[in-house]
Amino acid sequence: MKIIACVKQVPDSEAKVSASGGQISWGESPLVINPFDEYAVEGALLQKEAHGGTVTALCLGPESGKEALKHALAMGADEAILISDSALERLDTQSAARILAAAITRIGGVDMVMFGRQTLDDGSGLTAAQTARVLGWPMLGFVGHIELEGTGLQVTRVIEEGRQNVRAPLPAVLSIVQSIGEPRYPSFIGIRKAAKATIPMWSLADLGASAPVAIVSRTGLITPPTREIKCEVIGGDSPAAIAKTLVDKILAEKVL
């Protein structure tokens, strides 16, 4: 089983993100592996443990993306590849998908590609499905459980309405969600191994790809106004008295 886990480096979820002059900043907050991608790495490692094979962590991004790859290596991935090129400054999702698909094709012999459901930064949640479409492989989104059967797989998709069980042939692209299980912490040995690993860096030329043209582009950034409102604390002699006052106040707002 040859599995690829796609990862990205993003500002930590606790970061206070702001925009000024068209630039996004997140202060002193650290960059971390996209939390949703940790589920993809976990899902890949679980499959490797159950059926043998290798896990390759793949990142498309600036050189700082190596840190996300090292996290995946420390969790237990066998190897890591960074796709980085100065021509990749402003990527939209369809360009990213075409480049990832070219890298997956170059790696060769891949059975499964796993993504997180979306990233914490841009958060469009489109890249997995677009990569699947470029490769011409089945797309299985929001997967919380994976069983191999014969030459294919059966997965449980966790969707708005509940759970859907779906069968598909391999190779396939999956996006993995929380139900797969909590991502393991990097082991001490894993962290040492990751620190020593050399991570190959592929350029567009290595992939035989030309500089992509973005179809979707950003024209501006807005910092939404912070919601500062005065909270009226409701008191009373008993929970029932408090509840009565609060219900009257809520109904007077006429939002219901």
The SS3 call for residue 129 is helix
The reply on whether position 11 binds another protein by CB under 8 A is yes
- At which residue do the structure tokens 């939002």 appear? 255
Query: Of 72-80, 127-135, 185-193, 196-204, which part binds another protein (CB under 8 A)?
Result: 127-135
Tell me which DSSP letter residue 202 carries: E
Span 28-47, contacts to another protein by CB under 8 A? 36
Query: Of 57-65, 70-78, 80-88, 133-141, which part binds another protein (CB under 8 A)?
Result: 133-141
The reply on whether position 240 binds another protein by CB under 8 A is yes
Cα–Cα distance measured from residue 232 to residue 165, given in angstroms and rounded to the nearest whole number = 48
In the complex, the smallest distance separating the C-beta of residue 180 from another protein, rounded to whole angstroms, is: 11
Span 180-239, contacts to another protein by CB under 8 A? 215-224, 227-229, 231-234, 238-239
Span 43-82, contacts to another protein by CB under 8 A? none
Other CB atoms within a 10 A radius of the CB of residue 63 amount to 11
Q: Residue 2: enclosing H or E segment and its boundaries?
A: strand 2-7
The SS3 call for residue 252 is helix
Which residue in the set 30, 50, 87, 167 belongs to the binding site for another protein (CB under 8 A)? 167
The SS3 call for residue 70 is helix
Q: Which is nearer to another protein, 195 or 251 (CB)?
A: 251
Span 97-126, contacts to another protein by CB under 8 A? 97, 117-126
User: In terms of DSSP bridges, do strands 79-83 and 112-116 run parallel, antiparallel, or are they unpaired?
Assistant: unpaired
In the complex, the smallest distance separating the C-beta of residue 62 from another protein, rounded to whole angstroms, is: 17
In the complex, the smallest distance separating the C-beta of residue 225 from another protein, rounded to whole angstroms, is: 9
Which residue in the set 133, 184, 191, 197 belongs to the binding site for another protein (CB under 8 A)? 133
The SS3 call for residue 32 is strand
The SS3 call for residue 68 is helix
Tell me which DSSP letter residue 88 carries: G
The reply on whether position 250 binds another protein by CB under 8 A is yes
In the complex, the smallest distance separating the C-beta of residue 164 from another protein, rounded to whole angstroms, is: 6
In the complex, the smallest distance separating the C-beta of residue 37 from another protein, rounded to whole angstroms, is: 12
- Which tokens sit at 250? 């809520």
Nearest of 5, 1, 84 to residue 37 by alpha carbon: 5
Burial class (CB in 10 A: 0-12, 13-18, 19+), 175: buried
Which residue in the set 100, 140, 143, 176 belongs to the binding site for another protein (CB under 8 A)? 140
Which residue in the set 154, 184, 197, 206 belongs to the binding site for another protein (CB under 8 A)? 154
The reply on whether position 139 binds another protein by CB under 8 A is yes
Query: Of 41-49, 57-65, 136-144, 200-208, which part binds another protein (CB under 8 A)?
Result: 136-144
Q: Residue 51: enclosing H or E segment and its boundaries?
A: helix 35-51
